Amino acid sequence: MTSSPRKNRKSKPRASLRQIYRRLLAAHGPQHWWPGGSRFEIMVGAVLTQNTAWTNVERAVANLKRAKALSPPAILRASPKRLAGWLRPSGYFNVKAKRLKAMCHWLVEQGGVRSLARLNTHDLRAGLLSVNGIGPETADDIVLYAFERPVFVIDAYTRRIFARLGHIRGDEGYETLRHLFENILGPDVPVFNEYHALIVAHGKDICRVKPRCAECALARSCPGAVK
């Protein structure tokens, strides 16, 4: 057999992960992530943005600021009802109120944000993952954007886009993909930061599966690109 068991993709001239990164950056420019100020605010935003549009998160964060509740003690002190009320615009407000409290509880228990910054990357990540409501993507958002550690964040867009481009199957486990990207690209905090931001901010325009590829920086290299 001359043909490999791979999918019938005709001698694809695949762009490397770095080339794709360069094209995205050239096309869209720096994204300046993570929006927002303090490490704690980034942590809060990471939880609130779970399956939620960022504009909705901004309203919730604004509510917290207006109520002077954007701090671990204030969030722990607030009643679930009141906290959920502030979070309402970000959706899933009851669930997210519980998750924010859980995160703050752990954070205070660890001695505060300053103490977290002293943990090595592995322990920081493991600690975050031990909090109910913080999964791999949220944990890595925090580790990368709040604590500037070299972890590559894997999200649904990353899977879709790079599966479509033929770099991965798409059904690999989270850790498998994270290590794959980290080994090829890293460790490089600025690149990890910008790459994930570009993917998320412009994912809808990048090699979209439905209905098909849109015009984008990758259109030429995408097998499903229109024209």
Partner DNA sequence: ACCCAGGGTCATA
Partner DNA sequence: TATGACCATGGG
**Binding residues for DNA, per CB under 7 A?**
33-35, 45-46, 49-56, 59, 84, 88-96, 132-139, 141, 145, 155-156, 200-201, 203-204, 210
Task: Give the Cα separation of 173 and 69 in Å (integer).
Answer: 37
Asked whether 128 and 143 are in contact (CB, 8 A), the reply is yes
| Owner of token pair 């703050």 | 104
Task: Give the Cα separation of 145 and 93 in Å (integer).
Answer: 23
Nearer to DNA, 14 or 98 (CB): 98
Nearer to DNA, 14 or 92 (CB): 92
Smallest gap from Cβ 138 to DNA, in A, equals 3
Alpha helix segments (H runs only) across the chain: 17-28, 39-48, 54-66, 72-77, 80-87, 93-109, 113-118, 121-129, 136-141, 156-164, 174-185, 189-202
Task: Give the Cα separation of 205 and 219 in Å (integer).
Answer: 10
Nearer to DNA, 21 or 33 (CB): 33
Nearer to DNA, 16 or 54 (CB): 54
Nearer to DNA, 116 or 199 (CB): 199
Smallest gap from Cβ 134 to DNA, in A, equals 6
The C-alpha angle 130, 47, 191, rounded to 5 degrees, equals 90
Asked whether 116 and 107 are in contact (CB, 8 A), the reply is yes
Smallest gap from Cβ 9 to DNA, in A, equals 23
Smallest gap from Cβ 1 to DNA, in A, equals 27
